[in-house]
A and B are shown apart, each in its own frame.
Chain A
Amino acid sequence: MILEKGVEEKTFYLNLGPQHPSTHGVLRIVLEMDGEYIVNSDPVIGYGHRAHEKMGELKTYQQFLPNMGRVDYLHALAYNQCYCMAVEKLLDLKVPERAEYIRVITCVLNRISSHLLWFGAYLMDLGAFTPFLYCFDDREHLLDLLDGLTGSRLTYCFFRFGGVPVDIDADFVAGCRAFVSRLRSRWDDYNNLVTKNVIFINRTRDVGIITRDQCIKYGITGPILRGSGIPYDIRKSEPYSAYPEFDFEIPIGSTGDIYDRYIVRLAEMEQSCRIIEQACNKLPDGPIMAEKVPKRIKPPVGEVYQAVETARGEFGMYIVSQGDVKPYRIKLRTPSFANMSLFPEMAQDNLVADLVANLGSIDVVIPEIDR
Chain B
Amino acid sequence: MEEKTGEPLVKLAVLENVLNLCRANSLWPITFGLACCAIEMMAAGASRFDLDRFGAGVFRPSARQSDLMIVAGTISKKMGPAVKRLYEQMPAPKWVIAMGNCAISGGPFNYEGQYAIVPGADLIIPVDVYVPGCPPRPEGLIEGILQLEEKITKRGRLRKYR
Contact = CB atoms under 8 A, between A and B. Distances in A.
A25 interface: yes
Contact of B36 (A19, A73, A133, A134): A73
Contacts, number: 99
A55 B111 CA distance: 9
Contacts of A48: 34-35, 73-74, 76, 79
B36 A136 contact: no
B86 interface: yes
A140 B114 contact: no
The A contact surface, by secondary structure, is helix
Interface in A29-73: 46-51, 54-55, 58-59, 66-67, 70, 73
A54 B115 contact: yes
Interface stretch (B4-12, B37-45, B151-159): B37-45
A344 interface: no
The B contact surface, by secondary structure, is loop
A51 B36 contact: no
Contacts of A120: 46
B54 interface: no
Given A140-B47, A154-B135, A47 B76 contact: yes
A18 B33 CA distance: 10
A358 B155 CA distance: 47
Contacts of A58: 111, 113
Given A19-B32, A136-B43, A154-B40, A50 B117 contact: yes
B39 A117 contact: yes
- What are the 9 closest A-B residue pairs judged by CB atoms, nearest first? A136-B46, A73-B36, A51-B116, A21-B61, A47-B79, A137-B47, A133-B47, A140-B48, A21-B31
19 contacts: A19-B63, A19-B82, A20-B61, A25-B33, A26-B79, A47-B79, A48-B73, A49-B76, A49-B116, A50-B116, A54-B113, A55-B109, A55-B114, A120-B46, A136-B43, A137-B46, A137-B47, A140-B48, A153-B137
